[in-house]
Amino acid sequence: MAVDTKEIVSILDRDIISIFYENNIFLSKEAYEYILEEKIDIELLRKYIEYLQEKNKHIAEKSSLLDIYLPKMKEKDFKFEKKETILDKITEEKIEGSVKSRDIPARDTDPEVKILKKIETDSEGNFEDFLETFRDRYEKISRIFRERVNIRDFQNISTIKKGENVKVVGMVRKKLNAKTKNVILTIEDFSGVTKVFISRKSSINTEMIFEDEVLYVEGKCGGNIIYAQNVEFPDIPLVREVNRSEIEIYSVLISDLHVGSRMFLEKEFLRFLKWLNLKIGDEKQKRTASKIKYLIIAGDVIDGIGIYPNQKKDLEILSVYDQYKKLYELLSLVPDYIQIIISPGNHDAARPAIPQLPIPKEFAADLYDMDNVLMVGNPAFFSVHNVKTLVYHGDTIFDIIEKIRVPQSDVVSPMIQMLKKRHLGPMYGKKTGMIPERKDYLVIEEVPDVLHMGHVHVNGYTVYRGTTLINSGTWQAQTEYQVLRNMIPTPCRVPIFNLKTHKTMITNFG
């Protein structure tokens, strides 16, 4: 029986890596290639592993390999006898029984990624750009209302007449909560402005009405005021057909690694990587890992520099470039058949306001050179195996949490509000910086099958009207800054989404 050379290399790769994995150490690509090139003896590799363990290091890099290997080769009293290499020991029987023969559906499946919306900046930051942002928001959301049978016949504000029953769609310019507990809105469209009176006796939930959002109002016109009988949000359809993969394949959704932070949970993240490589877990868990085709990261992949006061004392790595280098070393350990999609967050080396373009290549060149990495903006809208996925770091989530008065641990309620408003940041000018682009990239024009967010460092998920909402938590332990903000993270909990059944499971690597 002939042996395929590619097969031998693959098995050699896994056999060498397994020596390191057994000792909770990952082998970088550069170190692995050097081991092959020099045909380094297994006993020497074990000494190298002992060296790493003494130094409390979890990644085997070429630089540290050279530190111990070359000096040993030069020592006169070091007797180095070339022993039989792993490659020499491989037999046809071992090939048939190796990990290579394991059924790995994700490895045998080509990635299917389609970018559905791309951020293209054309903002000069002037007043006209601000106007264009809000014009675009109104146009897009009013079109959503036009698609609803019971609402599509709404009229321009300039045409309403006293004594008539009217239907309008307007943007909330101002919201006034009167002492009488009645609410008065000022809304506008392209044609004019009017006030809306909502009685305290009304069943309308005025607490959920935000300034700057676009909504539908139905009521009686009393001149330059509408006495509201009904208020509706654009929302997503109550019933719809979701998009599914034809085959059972999974996406893993993570965020907020904060590589470079002293509180980055590297040991736990390496455990996660071992699982992706089918090195740990029972048969059921390995079967799940074998079907993972996508690793989708929703921002804050590094901790950055100068993001919050006195951050420097929380940093393990003081250079942004080195933080991305470390991230590259970690992600290079992900099986190459898994497509990695990376969106930035507020800690990344992208512009500080949203929407954000992809992380610039000048900071993360190594990631751009990886064949299985796709860099996208924030927010990003794409499909994976036919499933429409909206990824947003979640910069505005604290604004909404404060507005609707829910605890920070409730990460899904603000996400539901985003879907109801069909906007990721309906309130302008709060704590979140926003770039006035001529297009409003935060409008949710198409209904996503999955809305994936991070930022809050709290894991949670639910399903709202067919859309799966996932906040993926974090890989960072609680920092002093988070203690001051009363942020209690739930790290190392990994959401795994079945692209065929739309079922979500959570695996804890903590």
If pLDDT is split at 50, 70 and 90, which confidence band does 84 have? Answer: very low
Residues 280 and 417 occupy one common structural domain: yes
Using alpha carbons, list the distances in angstroms from residue 281 to 30, 97, 108, 504. Answer: 27, 19, 21, 18
If pLDDT is split at 50, 70 and 90, which confidence band does 12 have? Answer: very low
pLDDT digits (tens, 9 = 90+) for 301-325: 999 999 988 899 999 999 999 999 9
Residues 396 and 306 occupy one common structural domain: yes
The tokens of 377 are what? 């903006």
**Residue 165: which CATH number?**
2.40.50.140
State the pLDDT at residue 182. Answer: 97
**Residue 479: which CATH number?**
3.60.21.50
If pLDDT is split at 50, 70 and 90, which confidence band does 465 have? Answer: very high
Residues 394 and 248 occupy one common structural domain: yes
Domain of 83? 5-101
Residue 136 is assigned to a structural domain of this protein: no
| Pairing outcome for strands 113-117 and 380-384 | antiparallel
**Minimal CA–CA distance to 460: which of 447, 474, 443, 475?**
474
pLDDT for residue 485 is more than 90: no
Using alpha carbons, list the distances in angstroms from residue 109 to 105, 269, 291. Answer: 6, 25, 9
Residues 293 and 210 occupy one common structural domain: no
If pLDDT is split at 50, 70 and 90, which confidence band does 214 have? Answer: very high
Residue 107 is assigned to a structural domain of this protein: no
How many structural domains does the chain have? 3
pLDDT digits (tens, 9 = 90+) for 344-386: 999 999 998 999 999 999 999 999 999 999 999 999 999 999 9
Residues 218 and 252 occupy one common structural domain: no
DSSP state of 373: E
State the pLDDT at residue 299. Answer: 96
If pLDDT is split at 50, 70 and 90, which confidence band does 276 have? Answer: very high
- Where a domain ends, among 66, 101, 136? 101
**Minimal CA–CA distance to 394: which of 417, 375, 374?**
417
Apex CA 471: angle with CA 346 and CA 295, to 5°?
A: 80
- Considering the entire predicted model, what is its pTM? 0.81
Residues 252 and 227 occupy one common structural domain: no
- Where a domain ends, among 66, 85, 101? 101
Question: How many Å is the Cα radius of gyration of the chain?
Answer: 27
Residues 303 and 379 occupy one common structural domain: yes
Residues 202 and 295 occupy one common structural domain: no
Mean pLDDT in residue range 154-165: 96
Of 57-71, 288-302, 330-344, give the lowest mean pLDDT range: 57-71
Residues 430 and 343 occupy one common structural domain: yes
If pLDDT is split at 50, 70 and 90, which confidence band does 75 have? Answer: very low
If pLDDT is split at 50, 70 and 90, which confidence band does 59 have? Answer: confident
The one-letter amino acid code at 99 reads V
Residues 500 and 438 occupy one common structural domain: yes
- Where a domain ends, among 200, 232, 264? 232
The H-or-E segment that residue 92 falls in is helix 92-96
Residue 121 is assigned to a structural domain of this protein: no
Mean pLDDT in residue range 9-27: 63
CA 389 – CA 251 distance, rounded (Å): 10
If pLDDT is split at 50, 70 and 90, which confidence band does 429 have? Answer: confident
Residues 300 and 408 occupy one common structural domain: yes
Residue given tokens 């879907």 in the structure block: 419
pLDDT digits (tens, 9 = 90+) for 378-426: 999 999 999 999 999 999 999 999 999 999 899 999 999 999 999 999 9
The one-letter amino acid code at 427 reads M
Residues 248 and 228 occupy one common structural domain: no
If pLDDT is split at 50, 70 and 90, which confidence band does 70 have? Answer: low
Of 52-56, 208-212, 234-238, give the lowest mean pLDDT range: 52-56
Q: Which residues contact 166 (CB under 8 A, 6 or more apart)?
A: 155, 160, 218, 219, 220, 221, 226
Residue 56: CB atoms within 10 A of its CB come to: 6
State the pLDDT at residue 14. Answer: 53
Residue 142 is assigned to a structural domain of this protein: no
Choice between 484 and 508, residue whose per-residue pLDDT is larger: 508
Mean pLDDT in residue range 437-443: 95
Residue 204 is assigned to a structural domain of this protein: yes
Residue 135 is assigned to a structural domain of this protein: no
Residue 255 is assigned to a structural domain of this protein: yes
Residue 86: CB atoms within 10 A of its CB come to: 18
State the pLDDT at residue 67. Answer: 63
**DSSP secondary structure letters along 431-493:** SS-B---SS-TTB--SPPSEEEE-SS--EEEEEETTEEEEEE-BSBPPPHHHHHTT----BTE
Using alpha carbons, list the distances in angstroms from residue 436 to 138, 164, 353. Answer: 14, 37, 10
Mean pLDDT in residue range 119-147: 91
Residue 111 is assigned to a structural domain of this protein: no
